A and B are shown apart, each in its own frame.
Chain A
Amino acid sequence: MNFESIPLQGFLIVSSILFCIGIWGLLNSRNAVRVLMSIELMLNAVNLNLMAFSSYVDNNLIQGQVFSIFVITVAAAEAAVGLAILLSLYRNRVTVDMESFNLLKW
Chain B
Amino acid sequence: MSIAVTTQFICFAVLSLVIIVGALGVVLLENIVYSAFLLGGVFMSVAGLYLLLNASFVAAAQVLVYVGAINVLILFAIMLVNKKEDLKPMKYLNSRRLISTTICITLLSLLIRVDLSKVWEIANPNLSIGEESTVRIGEHLFSDYLLPFEVASVLLLMAMIGAIVLARRDVLTKDISTGLPVDQELIEKSDKPLLIKKN
Contact = CB atoms under 8 A, between A and B. Distances in A.
Binding between chains A and B: yes
Interface of A: 1-6, 8-14, 16-25, 27-34, 36-38, 40-41, 44, 47-48, 51-63, 65-66, 68-70, 72-81, 83-88, 90-97, 99-100, 103
A9 B130 CA distance: 20
Interface size class of B (residues with CB under 8 A): 35 or more
B90 A28 contact: no
Given A17-B20, A81-B162, A75 B104 contact: no
Given A55-B53, A77-B156, A9 B116 contact: yes
Contacts of A80: 73, 159-160, 163
Interface of B: 2, 5, 8-9, 12, 16, 19-20, 23-24, 26-27, 32, 35-36, 39, 42-43, 46, 49-50, 52-55, 57-58, 61-62, 65-66, 69-70, 73-74, 76-78, 80-81, 83, 85, 87-88, 90, 96-97, 100-101, 103-105, 107-108, 111-112, 115-116, 120-123, 125-130, 133, 136-137, 140-141, 145, 148, 152, 155-156, 158-160, 162-164, 166-167, 169, 193-196
Contacts of A85: 166
B115 A24 contact: no
Q: Is the interface of B mostly helix, strand, loop or mixed?
A: helix
A96 to B, nearest CB: 5
A51 to B, nearest CB: 5
Contact of B111 (A20, A69, A75): A20
Given A30-B87, A92-B193, A60 B129 contact: yes
Nearest to A96: B81
Contact of A33 (B74, B164, B167, B169): B74
A67 B144 CA distance: 12
Q: Is the interface of A mostly helix, strand, loop or mixed?
A: helix
